[in-house]
Amino acid sequence: MAFEKEEVQRNHVEVVEHLHSPVVEALSLMAALMDAKKNEFAEVDGEKVMTELSGEAKEFIATWPKTLGLGFSPLLNFLLPCPYFYDVREFVDAVDRLSDSAYVYDFFSEYIPLSQVEVLLDSPSSLTTFEETILWDTDEKREAIIEFFMNIKEYRHRFSSLLLEINSSKIFQRALDEKKEIAEKAKKEVQSISMEPLALAQYVMGKSFRRTSQYKMFYFIPTFYSSPGRIRLFNQEVCIIIYGCAVPLSDVMDTSKQLESKLKVLADGNRLRILRLLSGQREYGAKIAEYLGITTATVSHHLELLKKADLVQEEKVGNIKYFTCDKEKVDQLMTDVRTFLGR
């Protein structure tokens, strides 16, 4: 007997929102103030905002244990359970309503299992019996984590107060207005890219995601103060992409192509050995071929590619062409790569 069944499947609906968020900017600036590593795009405004902060806020920033190495994006994690993007007071009120266990769980990016969080809230010193993790792999980190759990309510109060103070800063509010156009331009640029939401998220982040799910909501949020970094916050239903807008995304794409072209030239053992040889002395093609044990024609091909990448200089003495490594250009390439990677 033949059997035929028609199933009607509900289409997966994805909602996509592009927005500039004062809450994210305030959180990003606070992160720059709290972190040991300075963000050049936040540093100038951060120093000015610091002059308007209370003594208590300044003391908190100065004493927060930088050794924890959190990056510093913990409070951005609260955008998932508390999606208030436009009003800092509403965001803070929502975060304040979270239980201590939920707060800590999100603060540490769900890295500490909720069951362990509850144990540590009840007995912070029990951390010494827990298996070592990257969060507490040194005595200094362990002491800081234990102290955090012992004074969780105080820390919660001080983080909320600091964020509200930053938002109340006249300098911060003025900077928001001044940078609005930059953020709006970045938002429109990303919004104009014709891609499915998940593909767009990966494109903006510059990598493929190892963990994904059937997201129902995508947020794409440009921020000046997180520049040039990119952050993804996600759970089973929501994916939030926060991307630096001080450097346009198109510039990032162009730079990546330029770096790719030059790095491809270096992705060859013989060309690397040629550069190494020419870093210490000036040589001509036949001598390079003898050194490498390859033909002069092959050396000529490699030198031509290195010259096009501006990594080698050519100098003609009589009828002989001599080559040297352009150390300044090589150093600049390495610097450009580190800058592009945000290091």
Burial of 80 (0-12, 13-18, 19+ CB in 10 A): middle
Distance CA 316, CA 130 (A): 68
Whether 73 and 31 have beta carbons less than 8 Å apart is answered as yes
Q: What is the reported pLDDT for 251?
A: 57
pLDDT band at 260 (very low <50, low <70, confident <90, very high): confident
Q: What does the pLDDT read at residue 65? A: 79
Give 216 or 257, the one with higher predicted confidence: 216
Q: pLDDT for 44-70, tens place per residue? A: 899 999 999 999 999 999 988 777 766
Tell me the C-alpha distance between 5 and 2, whole Å.
10
Higher-confidence residue of 37 and 158: namely 158
> Mind listing the domains of the chain with CATH numbers?
15-247 (no CATH), 251-340 (1.10.10.10)
Looking at residue 238, the DSSP 8-state letter turns out to be: E
- Specify the 3-state DSSP secondary structure of 313: strand
**Which amino acid would we find at residue 312?**
V
Does residue 2 surpass a pLDDT of 50?
no
Average the pLDDT over 78-89 and give the result.
97
Taking all residues of the chain, what is their mean pLDDT, rounded to a whole number? 88
Counting residues of the chain whose pLDDT is more than 90, the rounded percentage is: 61
- Report how many helices (DSSP H) and strands (DSSP E) the chain contains, helices first: 15, 7
pLDDT digits (tens, 9 = 90+) for 94-132: 999 999 999 999 999 888 999 999 999 999 999 999 999
Q: How far apart are CA 292 and CA 270, in angstroms?
A: 7
What token pair was written down for 42? 């936040």
Tell me the two tokens of residue 292: 């490498």
Q: Which residues pair with 290 in a beta bridge?
A: none
Report the pLDDT averaged over residues 196-206. 92
